[in-house]
Structure 1
Amino acid sequence: MFRGFYTVGSGMIAQQRKTEMLANNLANANTPGYKAEQAAIRSFPEMLMSRLDTTKIPTKNPVHMKGLSPIGSISTGVYMQETLPSFIQGSLQETELTTDVALIEGALPANDNGTKGAIFFRLEGEGGQDFYTKNGNFTVAPNGYLTNALGFYVLDQVGQRIQLKNDEFQLTENGVILEEGTAVATLGISFADRPETLLKEGNGLFRTADGGNLPNAAESAGVSYMTRQGFLEGSNVDAAETMTDMLTAYRAFEANQKILQAYDRSMEKAVNEVGRIN
């Protein structure tokens, strides 16, 4: 009986966390470059149940020697193991701003797990740490450096900050920045062959677990891409699908809640009625 409390309780917690994750996805449905989170719900290890059996004749079987007969396995509940972002590319949104840039994926090789790689803009954050993002909503700071909305520096293909005269620049499909027809820098585009291992930092930022740098996408074998000026990559959240998943998670939570109430009524009867002397 008490084991049932733990089983339904873990199910309710897992569905609550999934609902919170889906709500966050829905809140970022219009955030440029946002990657929807996906939940990985796993079952706790099952337990093998046995019963005492005094009628068993001792044999060489150690289970029978102990007077136990196996009944079967029982689940001990579920938990949300982790959340992983989906790196499927979002739709392009035209802004007509010269400082907005969208990354368009071409051929991206898959790793030995069958997962396709992903490409990112390379940024320099506080303390010189490298961050990666799909959000190409950039601006030219008063000091002339190209930055994102948080003030992180946009880096070129050799890891240097990009300094421009103004925001009246042109960008080729290969990521080359032109000022008055002269190439002044090339956007630093990085490639992650295992994007699922990146750590999510919020505000559309990712970083590597060991603090290292991702390789240059232009120098990675089998990687192709294009840059598009005046566009942003939108969120890859499917609002309709997310709403449906939220309703499903809510119904699962509600079902666990009703089972918990049934257990509670059974325990109440066991305590107050069973064994009562009239």
Structure 2
Amino acid sequence: MFKGFYTAASGMVAQQRRTELLTNNMANAETPGFKADQSTIRSFPDMLMSAIDKETIPGEEFGAVQTAGVVGSVNAGIYMQEIFANQQQGQLVQTNMATDIALISGNLPVNEAGVQAAVFYRLQQENGEGEVYTRNGNFTLDGAGFLTAADGKYVLSTDGEPIQVQSESFQVSDRGIVSENGAPIAQIDVAIAEDPQAMLQKQQNGYYYAANGEALPAADVTAFTMQQNYMEQSNVDASKTMTDLMTAYRAFEANQKVLSAYDSSMQKAVTEIGRV
């Protein structure tokens, strides 16, 4: 009986976490460059149940010995095993804004496990120490003419320095070379993660940090292209996410009803059967 409590409760916890994940995806459906989170749900290892019995073996030397008869297996519930971001390319939308620069995945390597690499813009953290990575190319210019993310993080060049321009009349080539009046100024740096799930930790606002604290290597020029005046949209499928969200709600409610049924059975066992 108590195993049923644990099984239903674990289902509720897993579906609640899945609901939170899907809700966050929906909230960021319009966030440029946002990558939808996905999850895997697995069951706990099955427990083998057996019945202890006694078997009498002929002969005075042996007598009765205990034996275990196999009854069957019982499942102990489910849990959310892992969460990972779907790095699939989002659709491009034309904005005609010079500071909007879409990062387009190119010839990306695939490791032995079948995981495809991913490329990101390299940004400087607010304190100037360390780096942060993003796919959001919705940049802007601050008061000093530095190319920054929406929250002020500097976009870094291949020299590791912030990129400064004189006005919004600058051009960005498909390889990320920033030029003004025909003269090259800098090249936007692009980092590559060969295994994004293992090498990166996703934080709020669509930013990623290196899991081991070490900076990601620079991406090869064949691994990406850039397109100015365009912006990469989120890859969240709103209709599918809403369907999955309703499925998670229904699963949560089903487990909740099972839990209530177990509670009623336990109450009856205590108040009625125990009294008899």
Residue deviations 1:177-233 (CA, integer Å, cap 9, x gap): 1100011111101111101121012111101111111111136xxx43210101111
Query: Is contact 2:55-2:66 (8 Å) kept?
Result: no
Once the two structures are TM-superposed, the CA of residue 237 in structure 1 deviates from its matched residue by 0.2
Once the two structures are TM-superposed, the CA of residue 81 in structure 1 deviates from its matched residue by 2.2
Deviates more, 1:166-175 or 1:67-76: 67-76
Q: Match of 1:196, as an amino acid? A: Q
Query: Is contact 1:110-1:116 (8 Å) kept?
Result: yes
Which residue of the partner structure matches residue 61 of structure 1?
none
Aligned equivalents of 1:224 and 1:6: distance in 2? 48
With the length of structure 2 as denominator, give the TM-score of the two structures: 0.93
Q: Match of 1:161, as an amino acid? A: P
Query: Unaligned 5+ residue runs, structure 1?
Result: 59-63
Once the two structures are TM-superposed, the CA of residue 37 in structure 1 deviates from its matched residue by 0.6
Query: Is contact 1:56-1:67 (8 Å) kept?
Result: no
Once the two structures are TM-superposed, the CA of residue 269 in structure 1 deviates from its matched residue by 1.6
Q: After TM superposition, list the pairs within 5 Å mapping 1:47-62 onto structure 2.
A: 47-55=47-55, 57=57
Aligned equivalents of 1:251 and 1:133: distance in 2? 34
Query: Is contact 1:133-1:204 (8 Å) kept?
Result: yes
Q: After TM superposition, list the pairs within 5 Å mapping 1:91-102 onto structure 2.
A: 91-102=91-102
Q: Match of 1:212, as an amino acid? A: E
Summarize the Cα distance change of 1:135–1:57 in structure 2 as closer, same or farther, 3 Å threshold.
Answer: farther
Of 216, 231, 250, the match for 1:214? 216
Query: Is contact 1:37-1:84 (8 Å) kept?
Result: yes
Which residue of the partner structure matches residue 157 of structure 2?
156
Q: After TM superposition, list the pairs within 5 Å mapping 1:192-271 onto structure 2.
A: 192-197=193-198, 198-218=200-220, 223-271=222-270
With the length of structure 1 as denominator, give the TM-score of the two structures: 0.92
Once the two structures are TM-superposed, the CA of residue 264 in structure 1 deviates from its matched residue by 1.4
Instruction: Tell me the C-alpha RMSD between the 2 structures.
Output: 1.7
Aligned equivalents of 1:154 and 1:188: distance in 2? 8
Aligned equivalents of 2:9 and 2:66: distance in 1? 33
Aligned equivalents of 1:252 and 1:237: distance in 2? 22
Deviates more, 1:72-81 or 1:235-244: 72-81
Deviates more, 1:197-206 or 1:268-277: 268-277
Query: Is contact 1:101-1:227 (8 Å) kept?
Result: yes
Once the two structures are TM-superposed, the CA of residue 144 in structure 1 deviates from its matched residue by 2.2
Which residue of the partner structure matches residue 31 of structure 1?
31
Which residue of the partner structure matches residue 19 of structure 1?
19
Aligned equivalents of 1:237 and 1:87: distance in 2? 11
Once the two structures are TM-superposed, the CA of residue 79 in structure 1 deviates from its matched residue by 1.0
Q: Match of 1:124, as an amino acid? A: Q
Summarize the Cα distance change of 1:149–1:55 in structure 2 as closer, same or farther, 3 Å threshold.
Answer: same
Matched, 1:147 2:179: no
Query: Unaligned 5+ residue runs, structure 2?
Result: 59-63
Once the two structures are TM-superposed, the CA of residue 126 in structure 1 deviates from its matched residue by 2.6
Give the length in aligned residue pairs.
269
Aligned equivalents of 2:104 and 2:267: distance in 1? 61
Aligned equivalents of 2:149 and 2:66: distance in 1? 68
Please list every run of at least 4 consecutive aligned residues from structure 1 whose deviation after the TM superposition is greater than 6 angstroms: none
Q: After TM superposition, list the pairs within 5 Å mapping 1:84-163 onto structure 2.
A: 84-127=84-127, 128-163=129-164
